[in-house]
C-alpha cells in the first residue's frame, strides 16, 4: 500500500494505492472515490483532506492516525491491506551477469528470499540495503513490479537514496548499518515518520 499527499499539486487529495490493476468500477462519494478491479480494492482518493486531518506532504506511512481517519470517513480498514513494500534487506549472494554492468542478487527480506537484478556498482554480498518489493510505488510515482532483465527474473528493486526521494544524487544503492533489522519496513522515506 502506498500513500501520497500534497495539498497543492494533488489539490488537497490523499492518494492511497494498493496495486496497479486496471480499474473497472469507480464509486464516487462526497469526499472520496473508491476504485476497484473485479471487485478488488485498487485505490482510494480522499478529497479536501486538510478539512479533516493535518498531514505532512509527501510519501506517507499508514500509521494509526491515518488508518483511523480513513476508516471513519470511508469505512475501509487500511490495516487489512497493509503489507510493507519498502523492506530492510540483506544481499546474501551477488554474482555478475556476464557482458553487462548488472548483478543477480539473492536478497533476504527477513521472511523470504527473492532474486533481484541490480545495476548498482556497490551491490555486494552481505550489504544491508532497502528493497522495493512488488506493488511498490516509489515516492516519484514509479511502479515496481516483477520483471525480467537480460533473461533473468527480478522480483523487486534495490533502492538508492535518489530513487526514494531522500537525496538529489545517487551514489549507488543505500548502505545501511549492519545492525539494521532485516525484514523491517524502511521508515526513513516516509514524510510522517521522520
42-83 pLDDT per residue, tens: 999 999 999 999 999 988 999 999 999 999 999 999 989 888
pLDDT at 72: 97
pLDDT at 194: 53
Q: Residue 107: in which H helix or E strand, if any?
A: strand 103-108
Model pTM score: 0.82
Domains and CATH numbers, the chain: 2-80 (no CATH), 83-194 (2.40.50.140)
- How many whole angstroms separate alpha carbon 140 and alpha carbon 6? 12
Confidence of residue 188 (pLDDT cuts 50, 70, 90): confident
Other Cβ atoms closer than 10 A to 64: 8
92-118 pLDDT per residue, tens: 999 999 999 999 999 999 999 999 999
Amino acid at each position: 500500500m502506498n500513500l501520497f499527499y500534497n495539498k497543492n499539486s494533488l489539490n488537497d487529495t490523499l492518494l492511497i494505492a494498493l496495486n496497479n490493476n486496471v480499474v473497472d468500477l469507480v464509486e464516487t462519494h462526497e469526499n472520496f472515490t473508491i476504485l476497484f478491479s473485479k471487485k478488488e480494492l485498487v485505490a482510494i482518493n480522499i478529497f479536501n483532506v486538510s478539512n479533516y486531518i493535518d498531514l505532512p506532504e509527501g510519501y506517507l506511512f499508514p500509521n494509526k492516525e491515518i488508518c483511523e481517519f480513513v476508516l471513519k470517513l470511508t469505512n475501509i480498514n487500511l490495516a487489512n491491506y497493509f503489507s510493507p513494500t519498502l523492506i530492510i534487506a540483506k544481499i546474501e549472494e551477488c554474482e555478475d551477469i556476464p557482458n553487462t554492468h548488472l548483478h543477480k542478487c539473492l536478497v533476504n527480506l527477513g521472511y523470504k528470499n527473492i532474486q533481484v537484478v541490480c545495476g548498482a556498482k556497490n551491490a555486494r554480498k552481505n550489504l544491508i540495503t532497502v528493497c522495493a518489493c512488488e506493488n511498490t510505488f516509489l515516492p516519484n510515482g514509479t511502479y515496481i513490479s516483477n520483471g525480467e532483465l537480460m533473461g533473468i527474473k527480478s522480483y523487486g528493486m534495490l533502492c538508492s537514496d535518489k530513487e526514494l526521494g531522500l537525496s538529489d544524487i545517487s551514489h549507488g544503492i543505500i548502505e545501511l548499518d549492519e545492525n539494521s533489522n532485516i525484514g523491517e519496513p524502511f521508515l526513513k522515506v516516509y514524510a510522517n515518520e521522520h
